[in-house]
Amino acid sequence: MAGHDLAEAAPRVLEARPPPAPPPRAATTTYAALDLGTNNCRLLIARPAQHGFRVVDAFSRIVRLGEGLSSSSRLGEAAMDRAVEALKICRDKMAHRGVTRARLVTTEACRAAVNGADFVRRVQSEADIALEVIDQRTEATLAVSGCAALADPKADAVIVFDIGGGSTEIVWMGGRSQARDPAARIREWDSLPIGVVTVAERYGGIEVGRELFERMVRDCTQALEPFARKAAAASGASGFHLLGTSGTVTTVAGIHLGLPRYDRREVDGLWMQREDVLAVIDRLIDMDYAARAANACIGRERADLVLAGCAIFEAIRRAFPSERVRIADRGLREGILLRMMHEDRAWWRRR
C-alpha cells in the first residue's frame, strides 16, 4: 500500500497545470438603428459604452420618399428607387461593421401610402432589409427617449417636438421627478399631419415671402390646436422649455452660430433664446432660394424645405411660449439604440 501511496503522490507534481485562464469576455454587441422617413434615410451603428453608446458608423441621405404623396396617396417610382439605393448602402455598412442586433424602421410615408406595404416587400427583396412600419405612438416615444437627456433636470414640463418630412411628433413630457424612464413621463402626445415636405408641397418652398410664411404658420397652428388645448398647462409649469429635434431646428441653430459648415458638436445641446430663433427665421425669409441653397447649413437639397419647417417651429413656439429652446441633434435612432441596449442589459454586462 505504501508503494501505491507514492505512485499517487508523484503525478500531482509532474502533472501540475497552470491555473485555468479566465473565461473570454463576451464580444460586444454591435447595434444598428435605421430610420427611413418621408425625407431622409438615416443609419446609426453603435456599441455600448460606459455612459450610453459609442457611434462607430453613420449614414444619412435625403431620398424624399414622400415626394408627391400628399397629392397622389402613393409612393412614386423615382422616390422608391432613391430609397432602395440608400438602403443598399445601409445594408452594406451593417455587414461591414458586423452588426448583430438591429431595428430598422420606417414612418409616416409608408404608413400613409396605399402602396406602402408593396414598397416594404420590394425593400426586402432588393435590399435584404426587413423594414418595420412603426405606429405614431411608437415614433413619438422613441424620439423622446432619444433626446430626453437634454431636458433641463429642473423643468417640471417640457414640450418635445420632432419635425419630420410627413408628420410632426409632439409630446408633453413631465419632469424627472415623475419617473426615470422618459416614456413614463409622457403626459400627452400627438402626431400632426404636417411635415416639411407636405407643407412645402402645399405652399411651395422656392419663393416664400412674409405673407406666405404667415399663411403657413396659421395652417400649422390649426393642425396643432387639439394638442395645444390638451397640453395647455405645460407652459405654466416651473422651468418649462421647448426641446426640438429635427433638421429644421438644427439648421436654425447652425445659422444662429454662423457655422461655415454644419457641425453636430456645436449644435447638439445648444440653448437658444426666443429672440435668437426669431432673428434666424427673419433672415431666412429675407433670403431668396439661391441664398438658402448656398448656405452651408441648409444646402440645395433642403433649400425649398427649410421655411416650411420654420413655419411648423413657429406655430409650436407661439402655442407654447417659452424664452428658451434646447436643440437636439439626436432623436429616433438614438432612442432605438438606447431601448435595445436597455432590453439587453448591455451596460450591466460591461461591469
Q: How far apart are CA 170 and CA 230, in angstroms?
A: 12
Q: How far apart are CA 83 and CA 85, in angstroms?
A: 5
Is 242 in contact with 159 (CB distance < 8 Å)? yes
What's residue 50's pLDDT? Answer: 84
Q: Do domains 31-134 and 136-333 have the same CATH topology?
A: yes
The CATH topology of domain 31-134 is Nucleotidyltransferase; domain 5 (3.30.420)
* Residue tagged 396659421 (cell numbers): 218
User: Which grid coordinates are listed for 119?
Assistant: 414598397
Q: How far apart are CA 290 and CA 295, in angstroms?
A: 9
Beta strands 132-133 and 101-106 are: parallel
Fill in the amino acid letter for 86: A
Q: How far apart are CA 150 and CA 147, in angstroms?
A: 6
Fill in the amino acid letter for 102: A
Burial of 323 (0-12, 13-18, 19+ CB in 10 A): exposed
Report CA 188 to chain centroid distance, whole Å.
Answer: 19
Q: How far apart are CA 304 and CA 289, in angstroms?
A: 7
Q: How far apart are CA 182 and CA 177, in angstroms?
A: 11
Q: What is the pLDDT along the chain (351 residues), one digit of tens a residue?
A: 434 343 334 343 444 455 555 544 446 899 999 999 999 999 999 999 987 999 999 999 999 999 999 999 999 999 999 999 999 999 999 999 999 999 999 999 999 999 999 999 999 999 999 999 999 999 999 999 999 999 999 999 999 999 999 999 999 999 999 998 999 999 999 999 999 999 999 999 999 999 999 999 999 999 999 999 999 999 999 999 999 999 999 999 999 999 999 999 999 999 999 999 999 999 999 999 999 999 999 999 999 999 999 999 999 999 999 999 999 999 999 999 999 999 999 887 655
Q: 346, 338, 350, 340: which is closest to 101 by C-alpha?
A: 340
What's residue 149's pLDDT? Answer: 95
* Residue spans per domain, the chain: 31-134, 136-333
Please identify, in words, the CATH class of the domain defined by 136-333: alpha beta
What's residue 28's pLDDT? Answer: 80
What's residue 27's pLDDT? Answer: 61
Q: Where are the beta strands (DSSP E) in 139-182?
A: 157-163, 168-174
Q: 35, 15, 33: which is closest to 246 by C-alpha?
A: 35
Q: How far apart are CA 350 and CA 327, in angstroms?
A: 31
